[in-house]
Amino acid sequence: MALHVREHARDTAWALVDQGATLLASTLSFLLLGRTLGAAGYGAFVGLYALIGPFLALGQTGVYLSAMEHIARLGETPGEVGRSCMSITVLNALLWIPLLSAASLLWLKGLPTLAAVLLIGTEFFLTALFMQSVGIVQAMTGFPAAARLRISNSLLRIVPLAILAATGSLTLITLAVAQAVTIGSMMLFAVSRTSRLAGAAVLPGPIRRRHVRSVLLYALQIGAGSVQSDGDKFALNAAHFQADAGRYGAAFRIMQFAWVPLLALMNATHLSFLRAGQDANGQLRRAIRSSLIATAYGVPAALCLFLVAPLAPLVLTKDFSETTRMLQWLAPLVVLRGQSTFPLNGLMGLGRNGLRAKLIVANALLAVLLYAALIPRYSWRGAFAATLVTELWLSISGWVALYRCERKRVPRPSGPPLAGLEGADCETTMSSPPRAGWG
């Protein structure tokens, strides 16, 4: 027990450093680009990431989580998983890079064509392969080794950003080129690290159906979550509130400072939910414990965020003055976000990824309906109202689902976990065990 607590504390500490490095890199980009592009230009930039975010889930987070699950939970060989997932990533990039590049040029004004193509290509190919390698490293050697890779990637990205800003050369095009070079270098290093751990070169190979299924299931959930979380920025652009999209996106970026410890806790506890599949009532207890920690942090963090919100225009420019009010309205989301994630992770630990996906997708569909109904009329206020409703619904439905499934669960007294029960009803025996970009 003491060893488990020490490992949990160690992983959380590494996760905090990881999230801090990621936030530092993205915040520098946000501050420098926000001051350079203005509210409308920055609105188009965040609109690009809102557009591609749901589709990125397949090649980035979906592959990352699937690689961890099949190695850490199902005991498959890293080489086979890596080759199959790499092929999935490459095919996904070939499909979406041209389609989303065309869509961005059609719907987002003010983005240079070269910058849009480079940013999309880097995320779907280079970052996706990097994330896959990080997932394999984490499954094989533990969280700290994977965190060190992500930290190195974040810190390396700061170097060209600082050089471009210091020399007065920072534009979307130069940023896109610098990002492609730095992430490409880290991708090659991470793939070589994975190959050494696997004992053979990890290159594109045969695609396994079970990996496709896992990737699609995770991607559906993450992509739907991205629609709910960031779709409002794209909707603001589409409704011709581009400046409001920039200011609202800036408020979200500032709010991520308060989310860092929560994200660290989520990342550090992810594997523990996967590995606790046979502990009767363990997932509910684990989710409650993590949510209480998140609440103890979230309430004072939200209050601090409310109080420091008037400083936002001083850090940026007067063009972002409305960001103060937006940030104060968004502050309660720090508390709500900590209440929705852990019950969903509990469902994942029970092998209830199918139900988990249904809840998240239903929430995303509700968000799309609310965005379409409210944003054209109320601009960012409509976006906030839609976000608040969907965060509340996801939290309530997640806790209800976890309570019902674990209450009706019939644990097996012994034996290895069974695969393939993700789509079973809650009444079925549940002994089976089951965020990169600048935007």
**Contact yes or no for 120/104 (Cβ under 8 A):** yes
What distance in Å separates the CA atoms of residue 108 and residue 242, rounded to the nearest whole number? 9
Round the CA-based radius of gyration of the chain to a whole number and report it. Answer: 21
pLDDT of residue 415: 39
A 10 A CB-CB count for 63 gives: 31
**Contact yes or no for 417/432 (Cβ under 8 A):** yes
pLDDT of residue 390: 93
Query: pTM score, two decimals?
Result: 0.69
Helix (H) or strand (E) holding 339: helix 333-349
pLDDT of residue 33: 80
- Cα distances (angstroms) measured from residue 61 to each of 24, 124, 127, 222: 21, 11, 10, 7
Assigned token pair, 204: 């594109």
Residue ranges for the chain with pLDDT beneath 70: 1-5, 8, 270-271, 274-281, 409-439
What distance in Å separates the CA atoms of residue 274 and residue 72, rounded to the nearest whole number? 8
pLDDT of residue 143: 85
Give the residue among 75, 180, 76, 87 at the shortest CA–CA distance from 132: 87
